[in-house]
């Protein structure tokens, strides 16, 4: 009886200590004004500006300090990220620090493109769409290698986190080329490519129960035919996200909450 009593008293003391010190309960991230979260953004140039915006959003929502490791790099592909995570080597820009950043990450947001994830027997060729011409091949089967690579990246992130609570969020790519595609008569063909790419990113995330944010839906509307340039979401170069787009994306991520994703 006395043992049970002291065990209960000890548990109450530990809970009280956590409440006043901000320590984390099992499967939860630390909270409190002294808590620090590590945010890692992994993406190509379509995730430019998001890191700072989402870090500020987390600080506002949760009341913690956020340190950002921003790996949103030009043309960053799934193949390059997977290589860096598995080997710890750079291979591309400053990805040599990516593995170490993920080991410490409390929050990870990712979209990396499929340009290095090509199965010769099911070739992927959507480059024409960037020049407003017809794509070569981008049916769903063409994205299978990319989906496999994305799943491998998420699996590696879980491995590196080693059971620690981690907020994981996946996203897709918006389309800034509505008007050029319409003018060139390739809107339907290229939109089908973007939708297949979005579906691939979603399937990879769902394999690990990772919440998915569709920027294609958010920026381009449910029919994927709305021009984000007219909404102020695209910068002056006509392709990359504006500061407004970054803030909008951060707010959408905020609405998804900050629940860690359980390891598989």
Domain ranges of the chain: 30-255
Which of 91-100, 159-168, 247-256 has the least mean pLDDT? Answer: 91-100
Q: Is 50 exceeded by the pLDDT of residue 16?
A: no
The residues with which 42 forms a beta bridge, in sequence order, are: 71, 110
pTM confidence score: 0.89
Q: Is 70 exceeded by the pLDDT of residue 14?
A: no
Q: Is 60 exceeded by the pLDDT of residue 13?
A: no
Contact 54, 213 (CB under 8 A): no
Q: Is 90 exceeded by the pLDDT of residue 88?
A: no
Phi, psi of 240 (to 5 degrees): -90, 160
pLDDT digits (tens, 9 = 90+) for 106-162: 999 999 999 999 899 999 999 999 999 999 999 999 999 999 999 999 999 999 999
Which of 11-25, 71-85, 113-127, 145-159 has the least mean pLDDT? Answer: 11-25
Mean of the per-residue pLDDT values of the chain: 90
Residue 164, token pair as written in the block = 């620690």
Distance CA 247, CA 228 (A): 14
Q: Is 60 exceeded by the pLDDT of residue 54?
A: yes
SS (H, E, C) 210-247: CCEECHHHHHHCCCCCCCHHHHCCECCCCCCECHHHHH
Residues 6+ apart with CB under 8 A from 228: 174, 175, 176, 178, 219, 220, 234, 245
Residues 6+ apart with CB under 8 A from 92: 73, 76, 80, 83, 84
Q: Is 50 exceeded by the pLDDT of residue 31?
A: yes
CATH class of 30-255: alpha beta
pLDDT score at 172: 98
pLDDT digits (tens, 9 = 90+) for 178-233: 999 999 999 999 999 999 999 999 999 999 999 999 999 999 999 999 999 999 99
Cα-only R_g, the chain: 21
Residues 6+ apart with CB under 8 A from 249: 50, 53, 54, 171, 213, 215, 218, 241
Residue scoring higher pLDDT (139 or 20)? 139
Q: In what order do the strands lie in the sheet with 107-111?
A: 65-72, 36-43, 107-111, 167-171, 212-213
Residue 202's nearest CA partner among 186, 217, 223 is 217
Q: Is 90 exceeded by the pLDDT of residue 26?
A: no
Q: Is 90 exceeded by the pLDDT of residue 48?
A: yes
Looking from the CA of 84 toward its CB, the CA atoms found within 13 Å total 22
Q: Is 60 exceeded by the pLDDT of residue 22?
A: no
C-alpha distance from residue 116 to each of 10, 19, 46, 62, 150 (Å): 54, 47, 17, 37, 12
Distance CA 115, CA 125 (A): 8
Q: Is 80 exceeded by the pLDDT of residue 23?
A: no
Phi, psi of 165 (to 5 degrees): -60, 130
């Amino acid at each position: 009886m006395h043992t049970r009593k002291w065990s209960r008293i000890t548990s109450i003391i530990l809970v009280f200590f956590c409440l006043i010190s901000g320590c984390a309960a099992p499967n939860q991230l630390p909270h409190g004004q002294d808590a620090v979260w590590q945010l890692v953004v992994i993406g190509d140039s379509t995730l430019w500006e998001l890191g700072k915006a989402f870090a500020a959003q987390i600080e506002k929502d949760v009341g913690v300090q956020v340190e950002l490791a921003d790996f949103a790099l030009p043309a960053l592909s799934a193949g390059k990220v997977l290589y860096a995570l598995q080997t710890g080597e750079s291979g591309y820009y400053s990805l040599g620090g990516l593995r170490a950043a993920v080991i410490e990450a409390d929050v990870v947001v990712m979209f990396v493109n499929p340009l290095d994830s090509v199965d010769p027997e099911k070739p992927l060729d959507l480059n024409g769409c960037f020049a407003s011409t017809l794509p070569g091949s981008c049916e769903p089967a063409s994205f299978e290698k990319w989906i496999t690579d994305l799943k491998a990246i998420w699996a590696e992130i879980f491995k590196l986190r080693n059971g620690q609570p981690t907020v994981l969020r996946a996203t897709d790519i918006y389309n800034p080329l509505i008007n050029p595609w319409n003018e060139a008569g390739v809107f339907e063909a290229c939109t089908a490519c973007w939708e297949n790419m979005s579906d691939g990113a979603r399937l990879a995330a769902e394999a690990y129960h990772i919440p998915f944010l569709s920027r294609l839906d958010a920026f381009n509307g449910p029919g994927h035919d709305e021009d984000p340039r007219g909404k102020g979401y695209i910068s002056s170069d006509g392709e990359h996200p504006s500061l407004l787009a970054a803030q909008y994306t951060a707010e959408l991520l905020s609405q998804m909450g900050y629940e860690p994703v359980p390891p598989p």
